[in-house]
Amino acid sequence: MKLPRFTRSFYFLVGSFFFIWMLFIDANDIFTQYQLRNKLKNLEDEKAYYLDKIEEVKAEREELMSNDELLEKFAREKYLMKKDSEDLFIIVEEE
């Protein structure tokens, strides 16, 4: 099999070696870059999700602090708080 003359050139061989090294062997190879890009996209999606949740919680907090009845309802449901004259019964449904 006869190879073209330029493939036997020192510069072609070194350049080819360098190209293969950068694509497949180096620490910053193409596969690592692809994985890092996917991880970055996932982290940006999570960041957007949590920023939305923070805004929702801030809105709920503002609403709770402005309405005493809603604050009492929230405290009773979420933290099982009660008045001194009340009894609290927790019903747990079995699966």
Instruction: Say how far apart CA 62 and CA 67 lie, in whole Å.
Output: 9
For 12, phi then psi, to 5°, come to: -65, -45
Residue 89 falls inside a structural domain: no
Q: Is-contact 41 49, C-beta < 8 A?
A: no
Domain, as residue range, for 56? 28-80
Specify the number of domains making up the chain.
Answer: 1
What global pTM score does this model have? 0.57
Instruction: Supply angle C-alpha 27, 30, 32, rounded to 5.
Output: 55
pLDDT tens for the 95 residues of the chain, in order: 787 888 888 899 999 999 888 888 888 888 888 999 999 999 999 999 999 999 999 998 998 889 888 888 888 888 777 777 888 777 889 88
- The answer to the question of residue 2 being in a domain is no
Is residue 13 included in any domain, yes or no? Answer: no
- Is 58 within the bounds of a domain? yes
